[in-house]
Amino acid sequence: MMKTDQTKTVDLDGWGNCVTACVATILNIHLHDIPEEVQKDRFRHADYSFVEGLGYSVGFVEDIKDVPESVELFIAIGNGGRFYDNGKPIKHAVVWSRDGMYHDPHISKSGIESAERFEYFERTGQ
């Protein structure tokens, strides 16, 4: 599996594409194959309709116990330990497994403080 790092960060670019890097890592696809509207998502539920075309369904849960057992890697979202100028925490996404963090796409590799929610992709059989 190819671990993909983000190419945009809030500090340098005003927005980050950590979610996109997580999707690329989990689905083993290139970052540039993910639609730009997903890359610019600001931690709302991204438009993952392109994932359905790859044979996956998408799930959103708040408790890791609700991620299906068949899913090995998924996205965890939480505070990244970095802050906007106004003091508000910057949300961050990492690739997670049942054993904890698998990959942090940020250059710092510092992860998240705690997981607030999870997004996962499950094969639909296509």
Q: What is the pLDDT of residue 10?
A: 87
The answer, yes or no, to whether residue 45 has pLDDT greater than 60, is no
Contact 11, 82 (CB under 8 A): yes
Intra-chain end-to-end CA distance of the chain, in Å: 21
pTM listed for this prediction: 0.90
| pLDDT band (50, 70, 90) for residue 39 | low
pLDDT greater than 80 at residue 80: yes
* Whether the predicted pLDDT of 27 surpasses 90: yes
CB 102 within 8 A of CB 118: no
Residue 60 has pLDDT above 60, yes or no: yes
Residue 102 predicted with pLDDT over 90? yes
Most confident option among 15-19, 40-44, 78-82: 78-82
Average per-residue pLDDT in the chain?
89
Torsion, CA 122, CA 117, CA 64, CA 53, rounded to 10: 0
The C-alpha atoms of residue 99 and residue 24 are separated, in whole angstroms, by 20
C-alpha to C-alpha distance for 61 and 118, rounded to whole angstroms: 5
